[in-house]
Amino acid sequence: MIESVPVFIGLTLLFMGGCAVMAGQALAATWRPLWQVLPYALLLGLADRFLAFALFGGTLASLPAWAFDSAVLAALAGGSFRLTRARRMVAQYPWLYERDGWFGWRDKGERGSST
């Protein structure tokens, strides 16, 4: 699946991963649902495969490589989405919610239940 570790780190994790993080933040900032991260991650996976092919001679039509790259990008976008959503919920509704870890929030009156 990973043809070259430096290309995976540089292209997939750093470059396209940054794009995935920004996509997750944008989706959360506009109050869109979490499932919309998946189509964007799949498209970013296509762009990643094309850039790996065009710039570094990687395989263009490799379904396992595309699925793996898309899964990594979806995880980054999903984490970014959840982090941004938790920050926005607490900032926008401070009288209702408080932070519960990095990715969650809870009602101010409750202890132990995470949303």
Q: Output the CA torsion 90→103→82→33 (10° steps).
A: -70
Residues facing residue 105 across a β-bridge? 99
pLDDT of residue 58: 84
Pairing, β 105-107 against β 97-99: antiparallel
Each residue's pLDDT tens digit, 56-77: 988 888 899 999 999 999 999 9
pLDDT of residue 104: 86
Question: Which residue bears the tokens 């396209």?
Answer: 16
pLDDT of residue 108: 84
Exposed e or buried b for every residue in 56-73, given b needs 16+ CB within 10 A? eebeeebeebbebbbebb
Angle at 96 between CA 95 and CA 97, to 5 degrees: 110
Q: Are 66 and 50 in contact (CB under 8 A)?
A: no
